[in-house]
Amino acid sequence: MSDTSRTTPQISAETPQIAIIGAGIVGLGIAWRLAGRASVTVFDRGKAGAGASHAAAGMLAACCEAEPGEEALIALGRDSQARWPAFAEELLRASGVDVELRREGTLVLALTADDQAQIEHLLEFQRGLNLPLEWLSAASTRAREPHLAGKIAGALYAPEDHQVDNRKLALALRIAAEAAGVVIHEERPVKEIFVQGGGARGIVLEDGTIVPADRVVLAAGAWSRGIGGLPPDQRPPVRPIKGQVLCLRMDAAAPLLSHVLWVPGAYLVPRRDGRLILGATVEERGFDDTITAGGMLTLLDAAWRAIPAIEELQIEETWVGHRPGSRDDAPILGPGPIEGLFYATGHHRNGVLLAPVTADAMARLVLDGVVEPAIKPFGLERFLPAQAAE
C-alpha cells in the first residue's frame, strides 16, 4: 500500500487527505461526493458493500413507516427521498450502473379490520405531517395487486415510497467513487483512530500501519463502536440489529407483485429481474449470523397470508444482515468533540433511503465545515454528557 506508513503522519497542506472507515453505501457515497476536492481513501474490514448495504431490501420508506416521536428523522428521510431521482441519474452517468429506482410506491396491507384500525390510527399522525398517503379500499388494492389473498380489508398507499436495488447501488457507488479517484482498500480492518494533540490525524490498521489523514470519517455501520482510539463516551452508541432475509424467484415476465408491500410481520420487495425479497426479522443477537427455521417461518407465513401463490416459488437465497442501530434509532451525522473526526453511522433501517442526504451533507461538513440544517438534530452530542458536548 503506497499511501500508508509506520511513521508519524505527515499531512499535505494543499489537498485534504481524508480517510473513511467503512466501504458501505454510506462511506462510499461520502467518498464519491468528496472526490475531486480531496484525496480520499476508504478502508473496509471486508469487501466493499458487503455488510448491511448488501443485506438491505432497498426500500425508500420515508412516509409509510413514519411514527410519532420521529419527526426530525421523518424530515431527514423526506429530504433524502426528494434527492433520490437526481442521485440515481447522476450515479448512472458516473458508473454506468442503473440502480433501478422503481416508482410504483408502497402498499401497507390490512388483512383484517384490526389491521386497518391500526393503520388508520397511525395515518392520523402521518396526515398531520402532510405525508403523501392514501387509504385504498379492498377493491382498489386488488386492482393494483391482483395476486393478493382472497380476503383483505384494504391498504395504505404511499405513492412516494419507492425502492432501489441496494446491491446495484453499492456497486454503482464503488465504480463512481473509484472513477473519481477514490482509493478503496478491502479486507483492511481499522483498529483505531489516530488521535494526537486533540485531533484526528489518521487511522491505525489492525496490522499497526498508521495511515495519515487530515480528517477521518467513521462510517463503519454496525462495527462503528468497535473502532478504538476514542474515549468510551465518544464511541458511537451503535449496535448490530440482526435481520434475516430471504429471496424468492418469480417469473420476471409475470411477477406476483409490483409495489413494495408491507404485510403484518414482513415486507416484500419485487425486483425487475423477478427476485422477490422477503424481510426481515429484527433481533438483538449481536453479530450472530444464523439463519433459523423460526425466522424463515415467520417471514414466509406472513408473506403467504398476503400472497398465497408464493408457496410455488423457489427459495433462491437466504441471508443475514446487521443494521447499525443507535440508541434512538436515528443516524449519527456530524462532528464530534475530537477535531477532524466526523461520524456517519447508525442508519439503522434507513441506510439506503438516507444515502443521498448523508453523502451530500457529510461532504459539505467534512470539506467546508458547514452543518446543513437537515443533519443538525443528528449529532453525536445528543448522546454525550452535557459537558463533553459543549
Q: Which of 212, 240, 243, 346 binds ligand GLY (CB under 6 A)?
A: 243
Residue 239 touches ligand GLY, criterion: CB under 6 A: no
Contacts of ligand GLY in 104-143 (CB under 6 A): none
- Nearer to ligand GLY by C-beta: 194 or 262? 262
What cell does 276 get? 422477490
CB of 257 to ligand GLY, least distance (A): 17
Contacts of 336 (CB under 8 A, 6+ apart): 234, 342, 343, 379, 380, 381
What cell does 293 get? 427455521
Determine the residue type at 171: L
Q: How far apart are CA 34 and CA 364, in angstroms?
A: 8
- Nearer to ligand GLY by C-beta: 29 or 243? 243
Measured in whole angstroms, the distance separating CA 200 from the mean position of its chain's CA atoms is 26
CB of 55 to ligand GLY, least distance (A): 9
Does the N-terminal peptide bond of residue 55 adopt cis geometry, omega within 30 degrees of 0?
Answer: no
Q: How far apart are CA 13 and CA 231, in angstroms?
A: 28
List of long-range contacts for 180-183, beta carbons under 8 Å, 24+ apart: 180/32, 180/35, 180/36, 180/94, 181/35, 181/36, 181/39, 181/40, 182/28, 182/31, 182/32, 182/34, 182/35, 182/40, 182/41, 182/42, 183/3, 183/40, 183/41, 183/42
- Nearer to ligand GLY by C-beta: 200 or 269? 269
Closest CB to ligand GLY: residue number: 349
Give the sign of the dihedral formed by CA 119, CA 331, CA 51, CA 84. positive
- Nearer to ligand GLY by C-beta: 32 or 262? 262
- Nearer to ligand GLY by C-beta: 59 or 365? 59
Distances (CA, A) of 77 to 99, 148, 254, 373: 19, 29, 32, 13
Q: Where are the alpha helices (DSSP H) in 96-220?
A: 113-128, 138-144, 166-179
Residue 51 touches ligand GLY, criterion: CB under 6 A: no
Residue 325 touches ligand GLY, criterion: CB under 6 A: no
Q: How many residues bind ligand GLY (CB under 6 A)?
A: 7
Q: Which of 279, 295, 324, 331 binds ligand GLY (CB under 6 A)?
A: 279
Residue 323 touches ligand GLY, criterion: CB under 6 A: yes
- Nearer to ligand GLY by C-beta: 79 or 178? 79
Q: Which of 42, 108, 227, 280 binds ligand GLY (CB under 6 A)?
A: 280
CB of 163 to ligand GLY, least distance (A): 10
Residue 102 touches ligand GLY, criterion: CB under 6 A: no
Contacts of ligand GLY in 337-376 (CB under 6 A): 349
Determine the residue type at 70: E
CB of 53 to ligand GLY, least distance (A): 12
Binding site for ligand GLY (CB under 6 A): 57, 59, 243, 279-280, 323, 349
